[in-house]
């Protein structure tokens, strides 16, 4: 038992006003559900009520008139009320929505002021993009039915009185989408852009080329789409899930014509979003090389478009014909995308072929380069000079720092913050997008309840708490941080619905990171507004992850070595009920009010309730409590890559699983592993008669279980006596599975306990050397 001991599409004609559900009552409960939250919002009493005589007044400026007309069109569609648009400079009109063009709010054209009184609505800005963002805030103050594309049943349309003075904190507010691993249609790209616009993002990073597919038409090189856009089949399941890997046997392909790409660029521009194309080089080039083998060092005509994920040795060879090809490609790309930046990739470029290539080695010698990293720097600088000659600038992933940074390059820092810090300190502009906070292909809640992803863990709150400006930068250096970007890689996202699930609601959190300053962000305030954004998602027909409504489990070890469990829900103002019966909780089950400790191993199931009804789904988590719980230990093998998530990974009460490696402690390979626990003290040793060890079998990951466990005990930590052993049959499973052998023996008194895990058998994979053994992954060791 549990012992508690304590404590849109048609949109833009009406806007991409999208997502949102029914709730005028919700609006009344929290009147200012704007995401991202304005820099300054002053609540006022009263409401403005729209009626059949309400008019729109705007200056006779084409872009402003267009925005005003779009508002009128959408409002008429949803409410049935036609708001006439009048060209005038009158600013004192009543019963009016007034677009007021001002000389200057500040030096940022994206700024706006929104003043709503019972007499009128006044939206002021110095530029059309400022008016656009002001309109997004106005839409979010209206009942969420405004995002519908049909007539609403609501009869009364009001907005709360307020004064908003708003300006973005960062100039670059980006969202990325990989269309190479999986391809998504034009209609979805527009839907994606619509959702960006509502949340005031202004940059769409479109990842168009990679090893698994070339997705943009280049007329001079038709084989890039004839061959490079198609792969023979696609990997099934997680990359390391099966040995041997399994494939679906189905041809896969797709690309955007130049006309379609131009259509996307225009669509985004109308929403004040810049589209930055990414043409990967010199690595991630296998699809291009499959189409034109002369681009590689090997010139191997048998190279095919990649069918699995990862990094591949086939990269562009720095010959003159390669540079001619890339310059011609980039010329056509720049004709399609008329913006300042072209993203050239620059990441994950293996150098093996360059090391073996006589042309590359001669070039390194002739240019007096230090090594292959220097050759990559030369490659990037050469492309940069060409792009600069066309009046453009390059962005590259932070690997372009290796070997020396191109003179005018902007760095996109993804491997952490340090790449961005180094670039900013050297005077280069930076866009922050670290794995830790910005990779939306990572799990956002308990992986056991989630579709397969690439791994990692990035919950909603972690996204929200991200600060793009590193503390070690000075004020002047910080000016080089242009902003931040969330990345959506699509290896494990085969459908548009799977993209939506991973992006939303985390994109709402990221919107506040890049729009508002750190001092203006408040997690509790944000989560109180997020339910309304879920209503907007509904209107956009977006299917988000709903973990916001589910209970999450946290556990810690207390000072007195108790396992303490905390239950949390991101949704505010809920009651959490839980049990250990395995059934869905009800309001008659225990009500959670504070963290509690466990005195025995158990599985807890919990759910969040509001007004007596479960608002999410029931979630469960298992915990192990034993005489070893919370103990520290020593071991003869240390892994720097897999630490099990804590310094007490083997005694923290949390079991690993057959889906992710987060809870697994890596104990190396090729040696017998010894783990020693000090139990109790010399005067108070413990008595045990059972011991359990959790191990992972993941053949495709090079991980196998130990074939033999030996247990020894000691009273002085020097002289050990044999207690028990267990020989374990080796698994032949091709997939991941967890083994938890239990050793049972006569009761024994011990002060020190030594667990010996014999080295695992050789892996069938190529990367371990024969006789070296597999990696050994262990999670919870328990004794009773």
Count of H helices and E strands in the chain? 19, 39
List, in order, residues 6 or more apart from 274 with CB less than 8 Å away. 202, 203, 204, 268, 339, 340, 341
- Told to judge if 207 belongs to the known catalytic residues of this protein, a careful annotator would answer no
From the list 145, 148, 194, 210, the catalytic residue is: 210
Cβ-count burial of 760 within 10 angstroms (0-12 exposed, 13-18 middle, 19+ buried)? buried
276: β partners:
205
Record the tokens describing residue 570, joined without a space: 């991101």
List, in order, residues 6 or more apart from 152 with CB less than 8 Å away. 78, 79, 143, 145, 146
* C-alpha to C-alpha distance for 438 and 652, rounded to whole angstroms: 28
Q: Which residue has the tokens 């892994």?
A: 639
* C-alpha to C-alpha distance for 522 and 509, rounded to whole angstroms: 11
From the list 31, 327, 348, 643, the catalytic residue is: 348
* C-alpha to C-alpha distance for 219 and 328, rounded to whole angstroms: 10
- Cβ atoms within 10 Å of 189's Cβ, excluding its own: 23
* C-alpha to C-alpha distance for 147 and 15, rounded to whole angstroms: 8
Q: Which of 107, 152, 116 is nearest to 43 (CA)?
A: 116
Give the three-class secondary structure for 657.
Answer: coil
From the list 182, 207, 284, 343, the catalytic residue is: 284
Q: What is the CA radius of gyration of the chain?
A: 30
* C-alpha to C-alpha distance for 191 and 493, rounded to whole angstroms: 16
* C-alpha to C-alpha distance for 125 and 102, rounded to whole angstroms: 6
* C-alpha to C-alpha distance for 438 and 417, rounded to whole angstroms: 11
- Told to judge if 205 belongs to the known catalytic residues of this protein, a careful annotator would answer no
Cis peptide before 84 (omega within 30 of 0): no
List, in order, residues 6 or more apart from 714 with CB less than 8 Å away. 720, 721, 750, 751, 752, 753, 754
Q: How far is CA 127 from the centre of its chain?
A: 32
Q: What is the DSSP string of 163-196?
A: EEEE--S-SEEEEEEE-SSS---HHHHHHHHHHH
* C-alpha to C-alpha distance for 123 and 131, rounded to whole angstroms: 7
Q: Which residue has the tokens 């139990």?
A: 679
**Cβ(612)–Cβ(591) below 8 Å:** no
Backbone φ, ψ for residue 274 (5° rounding): -90, 135
* C-alpha to C-alpha distance for 461 and 139, rounded to whole angstroms: 25
Of the CA atoms within 13 Å of residue 217, those in its CB half-sphere come to 10
Record the tokens describing residue 463, joined without a space: 């996204």
- Told to judge if 343 belongs to the known catalytic residues of this protein, a careful annotator would answer no
- Cβ atoms within 10 Å of 635's Cβ, excluding its own: 17
Q: How far is CA 629 from the centre of its chain?
A: 33
Give the three-class secondary structure for 418.
Answer: helix
Record the tokens describing residue 91, joined without a space: 């600013």
* C-alpha to C-alpha distance for 65 and 515, rounded to whole angstroms: 26
Give the three-class secondary structure for 295.
Answer: helix
Record the tokens describing residue 155, joined without a space: 């009869």
Give the residue numbers annotated as catalytic, written as ranges. Answer: 210, 284, 348
């Amino acid at each position: 038992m549990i012992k508690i001991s304590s404590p849109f599409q048609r949109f833009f004609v009406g806007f991409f006003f999208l997502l949102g559900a029914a709730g005028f009552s919700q609006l009344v409960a929290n009147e200012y559900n704007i995401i991202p939250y304005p820099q300054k919002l002053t609540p006022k009493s009263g409401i403005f009520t729209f009626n059949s005589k309400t008019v729109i007044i705007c200056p006779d400026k084409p872009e402003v008139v267009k925005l005003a007309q779009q508002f009128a069109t959408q409002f008429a569609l949803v409410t049935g009320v036609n708001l006439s648009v009048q060209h005038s400079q009158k600013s004192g009109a009543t019963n009016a929505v007034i677009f007021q063009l001002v000389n200057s709010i500040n030096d940022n054209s994206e700024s706006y002021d929104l003043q709503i009184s019972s007499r009128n609505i006044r939206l002021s800005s110095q530029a059309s993009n400022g008016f656009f963002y002001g309109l997004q805030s106005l839409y979010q103050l209206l009942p969420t039915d405004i995002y519908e594309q049909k007539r609403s049943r609501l009869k009364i349309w009001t907005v709360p009185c307020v004064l908003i003075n708003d300006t973005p904190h960062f100039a670059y507010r980006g969202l990325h989408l990989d269309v190479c691993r999986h391809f998504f249609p034009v209609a979805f790209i527009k839907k994606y852009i619509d959702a960006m616009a509502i949340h005031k993002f202004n940059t769409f990073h479109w990842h168009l080329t990679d090893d698994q597919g070339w997705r943009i038409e280049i007329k001079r090189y038709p084989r890039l789409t004839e061959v490079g856009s198609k792969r023979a089949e696609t990997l099934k399941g997680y990359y390391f899930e099966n040995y041997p890997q399994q494939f679906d046997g189905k041809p896969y392909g797709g690309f955007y014509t130049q006309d379609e790409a131009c259509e996307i660029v225009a669509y985004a521009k109308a929403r004040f979003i810049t589209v930055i194309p990414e043409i990967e080089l010199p690595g991630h080039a296998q699809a291009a090389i499959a189409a034109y083998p002369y681009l590689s060092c090997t010139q191997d005509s048998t190279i095919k478009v990649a069918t699995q994920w990862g990094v591949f040795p086939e990269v562009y060879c720095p010959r003159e014909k390669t540079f001619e090809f890339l310059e011609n490609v980039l010329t056509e790309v720049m004709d399609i995308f008329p913006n300042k930046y072209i993203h050239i990739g620059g990441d994950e470029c293996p150098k093996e072929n360059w090391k073996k290539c006589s042309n590359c080695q001669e070039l390194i010698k002739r240019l007096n380069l230090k090594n292959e990293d220097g050759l990559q720097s030369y490659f990037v600088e050469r492309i940069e000079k060409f792009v600069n000659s066309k009046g453009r600038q390059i962005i590259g992933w932070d690997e372009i720092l290796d070997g020396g940074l191109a003179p005018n390059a902007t760095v996109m820092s993804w491997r952490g913050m340090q790449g961005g810090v180094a670039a900013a300190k050297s005077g280069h502009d930076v866009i922050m997008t670290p794995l830790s906070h910005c990779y939306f292909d990572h799990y956002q809640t308990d992986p056991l309840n989630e579709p397969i992803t690439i791994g990692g863990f990035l919950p909603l709150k972690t996204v929200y708490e991200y600060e793009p400006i590193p503390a070690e930068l000075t004020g002047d250096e910080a000016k080089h941080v242009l902003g931040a970007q969330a990345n959506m890689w699509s290896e494990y996202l085969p459908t548009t619905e799977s993209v939506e699930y991973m992006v939303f609601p985390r994109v709402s959190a990221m919107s506040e990171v890049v729009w508002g300053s750190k001092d203006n962000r408040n997690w509790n305030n944000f989560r109180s507004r997020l339910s309304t954004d879920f209503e907007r998602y509904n209107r956009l027909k977006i299917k988000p992850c709903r973990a916001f409504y589910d209970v999450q489990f946290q556990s810690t070890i207390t000072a007195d070595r108790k396992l303490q469990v905390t239950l949390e829900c991101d949704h505010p103002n809920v009651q959490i009920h839980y049990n250990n019966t395995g059934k869905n909780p009800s309001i008659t089950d225990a009500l959670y009010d504070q963290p509690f400790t466990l005195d025995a191993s158990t599985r807890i199931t919990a759910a969040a309730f509001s007004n007596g009804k479960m608002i999410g789904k029931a979630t469960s988590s298992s915990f192990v409590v034993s005489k070893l719980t919370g103990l520290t230990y020593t071991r003869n093998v240390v892994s720097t890559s897999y630490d099990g998530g804590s310094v007490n990974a083997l005694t923290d009460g949390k079991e690993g699983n057959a889906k992710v490696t987060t809870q697994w402690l890596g104990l190396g390979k090729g040696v017998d592993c010894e783990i020693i626990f000090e139990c109790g003290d010399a005067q108070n040793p413990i008595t045990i008669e059972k011991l359990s060890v959790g191990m992972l079998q993941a053949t495709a990951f090079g991980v196998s279980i130990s074939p033999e466990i030996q247990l020894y005990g000691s009273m002085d930590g020097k002289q050990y006596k044999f207690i028990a052993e267990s020989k374990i049959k080796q698994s032949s499973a091709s997939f991941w599975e967890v083994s938890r052998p239990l050793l049972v023996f006569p009761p024994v008194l011990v002060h020190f306990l030594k667990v010996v895990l014999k080295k695992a058998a050789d892996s069938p994979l190529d990367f371990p050397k024969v006789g070296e053994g597999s990696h050994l992954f262990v999670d919870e060791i328990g004794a009773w």
